[in-house]
Structure 1
Amino acid sequence: MTAEPAIAPALFQWTGHEGLPRFTAIRDEDFAPAFDAALAEHAAEVTAVAENPEAPTFENTVVALEIAGDTLSRVSALFWNRAGAHTNDTIQALEREIAPKMSRHYSRIGTDPKLFARIDALWQARETLGLTLEQMRVLERHWKGFVKSGARLDKPAQDRLAAINERLASLSAAFGQNVLKDESGWSLILKDEAELAGLPDFLRESMAAAARERGEEGAYAVTLSRSIIEPFLTFSERRYLREQAFAAWAARGANEGPTDNRDIVREMLALRTETAGLLGYKTFAAMKLEDTMAKTPEAVNGLLMQVWDKAVARARAEEADIAALIAEEGRNHPVMPWDWRHYAEKIRAQRFAFSEAELKPYLQLEKIIEACFDVAGRLFGIEAVEVKDVPAYHPDVRVFEIRDRTGAVIALFLGDYFARPSKRSGAWMSAFQSQHRLRLKNGAEGERPIIYNVCNFAKPSEGKPALLSLDDARTLFHEFGHALHGMLSDVTYPSVSGTGVSRDFVELPSQLYEHWLTVPEILKHYARHVETGEPMPQALLDKVLSARNFNAGFNTVEFTSSALVDMAFHTRTTVEDPMAVQAEVLGEIGMPASIVMRHATPHFQHIFSGGYSAGYYSYMWSEVLDADAFAAFEETGNVFDPALAERLKTHVYAAGGAVDPEETYKAFRGRLPSPDAMLAKRGLAA
């Protein structure tokens, strides 16, 4: 008889520094048996709630569900962190197994008739229960969650919905893994000095480090990490190499063979449409948008097209400037996507008398991290203290204690900043543990947030400081804004903690935080030359600020086209050929041939493996809010105004999903915004 595999206690008992997991005590092989044990425990806890002979109350039903599954939450947090930020073949194989298993588990819970009967009884009697506003929101979230899990469907429909969700989970995992394989499996090795023409020192160093990682000592590697591919496309004077690299970047997920995502997309869209139909919605977008600020696809497309018309007009003017410069150089080729960044950078250098290469020595990663923390201190009274010699899930990951004005530790923050082949692309925030105040079965009174940020900046050579582009620096501020949303959360119930808000509100805290990067007093203090330590000269600072809206047409067209394609996919009842739909939408809106979608369909991870299906628009919806919110600070004459910062903390960063997003925004600002401030911020105002 085969012995049951031992369960590694480190997965469930987090006894590291200030309650951090003991990452070094966890092996890849530990996850499978731990998931089995945690799933069984959670199922038993949920069954106990469903079978409770007492009449349903908020406490014995909703609160009981809120605290159930603590061990499953812990092993899941550790596993999905590893799957995204430091994966390998073992983890990827388990991911393909775990994703459908988790879907089956939650489908069974979501369609449990006894459990739903208890939730439904509370929902129908909600006005008589004396619930607080937060409790009402939590009850509503549970009730709607059961309904969208199929609790009110007949058994055959429930079974079909469960099968669909399981299949979607498998497809989503495969989609993301395919993109990672295409990204990590491609590189362009350069050895001839002539091939490096135009590349600044910081990029050469990053490419040399990437080549060494691939066993190519003395060479330079162009990789599909955004922190290398984008500056290469910007600075390389070799057009044929730019075209080669761009082709690989654009073809992720569409390379034929086992990593091709196009069939996966077709199947996912069909299954999503079927899901919506089973649940009584005309389209998947109608279902997804019901609980957002936007509410309807019409509202979303209305905003996107209002912006599109202005953006494409600006992009056409920018393209004409690029074409003129190409002709001036004696070339006769049209403006193609692998040309745009290169010539736009030359135009910026001419127009504003500075280049990205000139700016980058002033943007040291270390200093921008300090700036992030300083802004948080000025606005919210918190301090980040790095804790050395505390092991994390990778040697590059740094651990910080977040302390309040009294010195008490209110959160832990982990920063994972550098690209590596084991990490998926992009940047994100997530949580090992979310804030709440409920008493858990292990006796703990609430939990302190443990939040992490993942970025993909190019790692410098040993002993060299990491340098960022301005976009990189914005990304760091953006993700730390998300982190603050998690760390400053002040709610009672886990399901509405931190970022547990509607998709088109969740980007407000992050996008708003970006504004403080370019506040002159912050840049003056933290933008210091990597060699001399001198602050950025006022003349250069003025140029940077005046160039904020340079290339606005290109940037907005890249984003808005992707959002419009996302909405087209999810507002149609049939999509036979997703690539044909993509081409059709881009043709209808007049997409310039010189620009491509920021995320073409086969590698559009936001909507096929990242939870933003029918939701990519939300970055722009939140931008309407963030532009208006920062304008509130500017109106006071002090972008660190203490009274306004306290309102911002209370109503945006700390409130989580405990309050309706429209109401909590109005509590901060006094009214809802119009798109005008956002259009002005992007330089697209009439």
Structure 2
Amino acid sequence: MTDAANPLLSPSPLPYALPDYAAIRPEHYLPAFRVAFEEHRTEIAAITRVRSMPTFENTMVPLERAGATLDRVAHAFYTVSSADATPEIQEIDEELAPLMAAHEDAIRLDAQLYWRVKTLHEQLDAQDLDLESRYLVERHFREMTHAGAALDDEAKSALTALNQRLSALTTTFEKNLLADTNDLAVLFESAAELDGLAAGELSAAARAATDRGHEGGYLITLPLFTGHPYLASLTNRESRRRIMEASRSRGTRGGANDNRAVLTEIVSLRAERAVLLGYDSHAAYVTADETAGTPDAVADLLRRLAPAAAANARAEQAALQAIIDETEDEPFALEAHDWAFYTEKVRAARYDVDTAALRPWFEAERVLHDGVFYAATQLYGVTFAERDDLVAYHPGARVFEVFNPDGSALGLYVLDLYTRDSKRGGAWMNPIVSQSALRGTAPVVVNNLNVAQPGDGQPTLLTLDEVTTLFHEFGHALHGLFATVTYPHFAGTNVFRDFVEFPSQVNEMWILWADVLDNYARHHETGEPLDTAIVERLRATETFNQGHDTTEYLAAAWLDQAWHRLASGDAVTDVAAFEAQALAEIGLDLATVPTRYSSTYFAHVFSGGYSAGYYSYIWSEVLDADTVEWFRDNGGLTRENGDRFRKRLLGVGGSKDPLEAYRDFRGRNAEIAPLLARRGLEG
């Protein structure tokens, strides 16, 4: 194959440089990466060969222009490897992982490039630079130093070897998890075992079984987190137990997909790398370049919240046990797989709300157009038009063009709603093309969810949790679409990890906002709006079950910190025992409230970008809750409010310190009181 025949090695002919996925085949990726690596190294060498002293124009500008081909190839590939990881794509990913790690180190650890950036940084006050350009120098210097560019050659060699091995291990972790999640999908022989599920849910289970060759059966696939949305509806206790047991056993059953040895090696190597870089632990290394600053700051927040959360969870457990004792002919002790089912009974008794019965009002297409898109139009003036002529990376992924209030083109939004065996679990946003004025590129972003797809002709009816996920991920998409920066380094959601969840969490506020809810929450058959009395009762339940939800989240965040605060040489031989000890230490070892992710399927931290950073959700929620309060105090869903939030926060991307951007928007630092009230933790 010649380079000219590889569609990844020339700019895409499609609008917004959307990769021409119809022309891209798996065999194109590795050759394209090899060419892109070489081109990037050549571009960096051209910078370091300059004999004159470093200036912004001869160092930073070409550095930001460099790697455009690699970015194009990488964004195209990693979008596919996470959302449609066929065996062929997985093989490429495994071969690519150490190559990518080595290349990234070759750039970040380049001594001559670091000298030029360091020299510019030392002379920063003498440079006549705008604020974004000045911050670019600061960030490149900080990030290169943080990555190890100041180390000697021997240490750099050791660091590169560690990074390559870690890259391979995290890829293996994700591959194992996907395979075991697929293997552990729970097959039921009859619909009677799934009593309580709606017709659409049964249809999705039947379709999944047929796709796997189990005609006549019902297959329940597993989400990424510990529980399952169906646990709230299933009346058969044994069915609930089977699903929960399957979910919690992922990565622990021995054999090729066991993740225990993989994760302990990851932890060990991360700790070793941290020492090489001058830190006591991986957690100290990570938080040093986040808004938190130190793992102690993270621990202080988690310890502040944990006692009240656990106390609330125990009170909730007592209420659930009481309803079991009162309603069951043969009462039993509440277990983890019972929690969601009896929570709905308590919710119904206390608030007269059955969330499972709300699904007919949450038809996916209406939620998307009349809820998610509608709120964005009301707040920011942007509009959306589906582009059936544009082909994404999978037939199930849909492409929408996004327009500014004045009708000018903004970018593309891709939605990939449904689950499939080749898609990793969870939900996420990622860029396919990043905006940059320097490179002349506009944003293309994708949202991935894992909604079960019903049979042909059946409507997709979402749970309230799935509606929340769609609004949440679209908040990330808006961040990626609205960020308007000069340099690609600052594009989209390229902000500190413990800030990145903030805009997405804010976007959740519109789910129950009266004007938005009334526009999308219509019965899919009759068009009847959701009864206002039900809506008021829904709002009244916002702190309901928060003891459970906060406890399971905090347990996972603490577990992440516990693994990554280990010192180099601290050996863990029993993963389950380590988890138990860590959770007992903070008082979150509730048998009925398992951690949201156990270590062996904790993809966020062992194969994603959240290692020692899963705390960022609650850290960002402090800003989120404070911002929601601001919107409510200032009139809510108005263009004036949206324009302020877009201009002062979403629009800056990573081009300024995020907390400075927050203060610019809010007028002060965030306060924690709104978060405590939201989570029922004021005590």
Q: TM-score range by the shorter chain?
A: over 0.9
Partner in structure 1 of residue 412 of structure 2 = 412
Q: Distance in 1 between matches of 2:224 and 2:159?
A: 37
Which stretch of the first structure deviates more once superposed, 312-321 or 51-60? 51-60
1:76 CA displacement: 0.6
Does structure 2 retain, via aligned residues, the 8 Å contact 1:388–1:399? yes
Q: Secondary structure at the match of 1:410?
A: strand
Match of 1:478 in 2: 472
Structure 2 counterpart of 1:624, one-letter code: V
Change (3 A) 1:349 1:12: farther
- Tell me, in whole angstroms, the C-alpha distance in 2 between the residues paired with 1:615 and 1:137: 23
Q: Secondary structure at the match of 1:74?
A: helix
Residue 225 of structure 1 deviates from its aligned partner by: 3.4
Provide the rounded CA distance (Å) in 1 between the counterparts of 2:329 and 2:303. 37
Which of 644, 648, 653 aligns to 2:650? It is 653
2-structure distance, mates of 1:580, 1:511: 34
Match of 2:365 in 1: 366
Is residue 2:513 matched to residue 1:513? no
1:183–1:306: structure 2 CA closer, same or farther, 3 Å change rule? same
In structure 2, C-alpha distance between the alignment counterparts of 1:275 and 1:605, rounded to whole Å: 20
Which whole-Å CA distance do the structure 2 matches of 1:250 and 1:580 have between them?
A: 15
In structure 1, the residue matched to 2:37 is: 39
Greater shift after overlay, 93-102 or 9-18?
Answer: 9-18
> Alpha-carbon deviation of 1:302?
1.2
- Displacement of 1:5 after TM fit? 7.7
Deviation at 1:420, TM superposition (A): 0.7
Structure 1 residues 257 and 226, CA, compared in 2 at 3 Å: closer, same or farther?
closer
Bigger shift: residues 286-295 or 78-87: 286-295
Matched residues in 2 for 1:667 and 1:111: separation? 35
Q: TM-score, normalised by structure 2?
A: 0.96
Separation in 1, partners of 2:17, 2:374: 25
CA drift at 1:231:
3.0
- Once the two structures are superposed, residues 90-143 of structure 1 have per-residue CA deviations (whole angstroms, 9 ceiling, x without a partner) of 110111111110111111222222111111111111111122221122112211
Deviations 1:580-603 (A, max 9, x none): 321111122232111111010011
Residue in 1 aligned with 2:126?
128
Q: Which residue of 1 aligns with 2:390?
A: 390
Give the match's secondary structure for 1:536: coil
CA distance in 1, matches of 2:519, 2:104: 50
Correspondences of 1:525-604 after superposition (within 5 Å): 525-573=519-567, 574-577=570-573, 578-590=575-587, 591-604=589-602
Q: Matches of 2:136 and 2:644 in 1, distance apart?
A: 23
Cross-structure match for 1:463:
457
1:398–1:414: 8 Å Cα contact kept in structure 2? Answer: yes
> Which AA in structure 2 matches 1:584?
Q
Which residue does 1:443 correspond to in 2?
none
- Which is worse superposed, 502-511 or 539-548? 539-548
Per-residue CA deviations over 1:470-516 (Å, capped at 9, x if unaligned) read 11001000100000001001111111111111111111110000011
Distance, in Å, in 1 between the alignment partners of 2:417 and 2:431 is: 16
Tell me, in whole angstroms, the C-alpha distance in 2 between the residues paired with 1:10 and 1:500.
24
| AA partner of residue 66 (structure 2) | A
Aligned equivalent of 2:299: 301
Write the letter of the residue equivalent to 2:381: G
Contact kept? 2:226, 2:247, Cα under 8 Å: no
- 2:627 and 2:487 mapped to 1: Cα distance? 27
Percent identity between matched residues is 40
Alpha-carbon deviation of 1:576?
A: 2.1
2:671 is matched with which residue?
A: 674
Which runs of 5 or more structure 2 residues have no equivalent in the other structure? Answer: none
Contact 1:203 1:228 survives alignment (8 Å):
no
Counterpart secondary structure, 1:398: strand
Whether 1:605 and 2:599 are equivalent positions in the alignment is no
Would the aligned equivalents of 2:224 and 2:601 in 1 still touch at CA under 8 Å? Answer: no
1:136-179 Cα deviation digits (max 9, x unpaired): 22112211222123221111111000000001100010111111
Aligned to 1:381: 381
1:6·1:33 contact (CA, 8 Å) conserved in 2? no
Query: Alignment length, in residue pairs?
Result: 677
The corresponding residue for 1:496 is 490
Does the 8 Å CA contact 1:222/1:228 hold for their aligned counterparts?
no
After the TM superposition, which residues 37-76 of structure 1 pair with which residues of structure 2 at under 5 Å, given as runs? 37-76=35-74
What is the match of residue 639 of structure 1? 636
Question: Which residue of 2 is the match for residue 112 of structure 1?
Answer: 110
Matches within 5 A, 1:181-260: 181-225=179-223, 230-260=228-258
Structure 2 distance, partners of 1:169, 1:135, is 31
**Cα contact 1:173–1:609 (8 A) shared by 2:** yes
Aligned equivalents of 1:232 and 1:520: distance in 2?
28
Further displaced range: 570-579 or 467-476: 570-579
Q: Does 1:349 align with 2:348?
A: yes
Counterpart amino acid of 2:543?
N
SS of equivalent residue, structure 1 residue 281: coil
Contact 1:28–1:90 (CA under 8 A) maintained in structure 2: yes
CA distance in 2, matches of 1:594, 1:449: 44
Q: Match for 1:157 among 155, 158, 177? A: 155
Q: Return closer, same or farther for 1:4/1:395 CA change in 2, 3 Å cut-off.
A: closer
Alignment-derived partner of residue 522 in structure 1: 516
Q: Could you list the runs of 5+ residues in structure 1 that have no partner in the other structure?
A: 441-445
**C-alpha separation between the residues in 2 aligned to 1:575 and 1:567?**
16
3-state SS, counterpart of residue 453 of structure 1: strand
Shift, 1:226, TM fit: 6.0
1:417-458 superposed Cα distances (whole Å, 9 cap, x missing partner): 1111110000000001111110x4xxxxx2100111111111
* 1:575 positional shift: 4.2
Contact 2:291–2:498 (8 Å) recurs in 1: yes
Letter in 2 for 1:179: L
CA contact (8 A) 2:47 2:63 kept: yes
- Deviations along 1:236-273, one digit per CA (max 9) or x if unpaired, are 22222211211110111222111111111111111111
- By how many angstroms is 1:229 displaced? 6.8
Deviation digits for residues 506-553 of structure 1 (CA, Å, limit 9, x no counterpart): 111100000111101211111000111111111221222112222111
Whether the aligned pair in 1 keeps the contact of 2:83 and 2:423 (CA below 8 Å) is yes
- TM-score normalized by the length of structure 1: 0.96
Is the 2:171–2:607 contact (alpha carbons within 8 Å) kept by the matching residues of 1? Answer: yes
- Secondary structure in 2 matching 1:308: helix
1:227–1:456 contact (8 Å) kept in structure 2: no
